[in-house]
Amino acid sequence: MTKPKPKFQLIGDYPITEYKCGARAGESVRLRRDIVTVDHKGNPTGVVHHKDEIWTVLSGSVEPPVVVWLKQPDGKRHTWSDDDDFWITFERPVA
């Protein structure tokens, strides 16, 4: 009997520095609204990221799905859809 293939893939190469949505690796983005973190079933975890938090855009992977990689203020990584909807939740801070 053969083992089923794992559903995850180890990624070690992050060559994307500019995403389709226009976000660029190394830049800071600010939350436009509060985000309630949910688990894989859609249930709230109790973690809330608040409006005006500053996150950092990271280099991304070319492995599907291609998403925007971000670093939260607590240092954890997070992904977001790489489309125009990114800018509904995030904005570039005014200098």
Dist CA 76 CA 39 (whole Å) = 15
In a domain, 71, yes or no: yes
Dist CA 95 CA 46 (whole Å) = 32
In a domain, 47, yes or no: yes
pTM: predicted TM-score of the whole model, two decimal places: 0.82
In a domain, 20, yes or no: no
Residue whose structure tokens are 């830049």? 27
In a domain, 10, yes or no: no
The total number of structural domains in the chain stands at: 1
Q: Which of the four pLDDT bands, split at 50, 70 and 90, describes residue 5?
A: low
In a domain, 39, yes or no: yes
Dist CA 81 CA 48 (whole Å) = 19
Torsion of CA 6, 20, 77, 37, to 10 degrees: -90
Digit-coded pLDDT (tens) for 45-93: 999 999 999 999 999 988 888 899 999 999 999 999 999 899 999 999 9
Dist CA 61 CA 13 (whole Å) = 6
Range of the domain at 67: 28-91
